């Protein structure tokens, strides 16, 4: 058994709200076995613990979940290369992420099939951050709000097209105004444990709200980006997102969302926010040319754009996003952490095993300092960063 000592531990209370506790020791192997006071730990029989990690005053947190990421360090989910997602797994661990959903682009189904095959392979690989399945962003979206997606590959929604992949698709992004089926597509997804997200959509408020409250869509893909905005007489998809209990993704790189808007959304949606990176293969590589969905991308600083200037994903790392969001909102660290642990785990119906430091759950643990520098990342008790 292993132990983490001298940390500020982020734990759920009886109401599952996260709190910070000092003077506790976390005992674990593949799972979290016990949480003791320092006095109780000192009283354990000699030999009970064979490895100790000294958190040295840093935060001890549940491992982060990233539910929307296309790529990093030169690799992309769409690459026809089994090593691509493996590279992503290793790099995500460096950013405190212990589980993630490699995210596909709007492509033809022959190309998507190859990507899904590599996702399945990665789900069996125990190296770096865990792959939980995939987030399918398109091709059932609106040309009017395609963003950095390729219009030629946009298709009409058809559940039969994704049925062969229902074991790995955990979230699918769709434009609800393009469904025209009285909720059947969404119902089929929900029956197969697939979260339906609204995104890349030109829907009006009523259409978006009906998709959420009547049909069961529960997620919004990168709120504000590639959707109808908030207007006093036309609330749009943003209005429906803010006016319901849908979980909302935010790309918190200060490029996609202004800090003031982050503050407003935090006040309205703090219990239904999921912070994401939406990063592309250029993440972790610095300035220069790159690629997304077969299109040229140019990166300068924190900005990634297509040739026509359209923002094309981000180069954000998760730990940097948490730091930026906290600086912008002054939200308590424990609330920020819940947005990348508890909230996504609950939505994916995984909170019984992931998303909090609770006895019996997987020992997915991230240790970080006040500036969100990652000191240790553990997946099922194995240290995946730094690699020993």
Q: What is the secondary structure of 36-53 as a DSSP string? A: EEHHHHHTSPTTS-SEEE
Give the CA distances from residue 184 to residues 140, 181, 188, 191, in Å, rounded to whole numbers and listed in that order.
Answer: 14, 6, 6, 10
Q: What is the DSSP letter of 333?
A: H
Which residue, 350, 277, 270, 292, is CA-closest to 105? 292
- Residue in the structure block whose two tokens are 């033809």: 108
278 annotated active-site:
yes
Q: Which residues of 315-343 are buried (b: 16+ CB within 10 A; e: fewer)?
A: bbbbbbbbbbbbebbebebbbbbbbbbbb
Contact (Cβ atoms closer than 8 angstroms) between residue 109 and residue 149: no
Give the CA distances from residue 234 to residues 146, 205, 206, 214, in Å, rounded to whole numbers and listed in that order.
Answer: 20, 7, 10, 20
- Residue in the structure block whose two tokens are 């040229």: 296
Angstrom distance (rounded) from CA 251 to CA 92:
16
- Residue in the structure block whose two tokens are 């929604």: 157
Pairing, β 32-37 against β 18-28: antiparallel
- Please pick, among 188, 278, 320, 364, the residue that the annotation labels catalytic: 278
The alpha carbons of the chain give a radius of gyration, in whole angstroms, of: 20
Longest alpha-carbon distance in the chain: 69
Q: What is the secondary structure of 166-188 as a DSSP string? A: TTTEEEEEE-GGGT-STTHHHHH
Q: Which residues are catalytic?
A: 278
């Amino acid at each position: 058994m292993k132990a983490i000592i001298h940390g500020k531990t982020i734990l759920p209370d009886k109401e599952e709200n996260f709190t910070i506790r000092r003077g506790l020791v976390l005992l674990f192997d593949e799972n979290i076995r016990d949480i003791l006071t320092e006095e109780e730990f000192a009283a354990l029989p000699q030999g009970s613990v064979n490895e100790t990690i000294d958190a040295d005053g840093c935060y001890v947190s549940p491992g982060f979940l990233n539910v929307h990421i296309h790529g990093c360090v030169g690799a992309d989910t769409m690459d026809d290369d089994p090593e691509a997602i493996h590279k992503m797994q290793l790099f995500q661990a460096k950013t405190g992420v212990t589980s993630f959903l490699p995210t596909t682009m709007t492509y033809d189904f022959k190309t998507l099939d190859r990507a899904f095959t590599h996702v399945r392979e990665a789900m069996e690989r125990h190296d770096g951050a865990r792959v939980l399945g995939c987030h399918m962003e398109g091709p059932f979206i609106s040309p009017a709000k395609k963003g950095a997606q390729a219009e030629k590959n946009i298709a009409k929604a058809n559940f039969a097209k994704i049925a062969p992949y229902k074991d790995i698709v955990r979230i699918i992004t769709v434009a609800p105004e393009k469904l025209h089926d009285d909720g059947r597509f969404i119902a089929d997804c929900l029956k197969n444990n697939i979260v339906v997200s609204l995104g890349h959509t030109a829907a009006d408020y009523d259409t978006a709200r009906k998709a959420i409250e009547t049909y069961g869509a529960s997620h919004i893909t990168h709120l504000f980006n590639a959707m109808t905005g908030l207007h006093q007489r036309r609330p749009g998809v943003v209005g429906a997102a803010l006016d319901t209990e849908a979980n909302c993704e935010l790309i918190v790189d200060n490029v996609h969302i202004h800090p003031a808007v982050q503050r407003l959304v935090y006040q309205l949606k703090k219990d239904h926010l999921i912070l994401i990176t939406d990063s592309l293969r250029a993440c972790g590589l610095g300035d220069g040319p790159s690629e997304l969905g077969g299109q040229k991308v140019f990166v300068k600083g924190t900005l990634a754009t297509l040739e026509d200037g359209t923002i094309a994903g981000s180069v954000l790392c998760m730990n940097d996003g948490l730091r930026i969001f906290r600086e912008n909102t002054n939200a308590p660290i424990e609330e920020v952490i819940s947005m990348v642990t508890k909230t996504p785990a609950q939505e994916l119906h995984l909170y019984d095993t992931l998303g909090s430091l609770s006895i019996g759950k997987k020992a997915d643990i991230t240790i970080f300092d006040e500036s969100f520098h990652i000191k240790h990342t553990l997946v099922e008790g194995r240290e995946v960063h730094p690699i020993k």
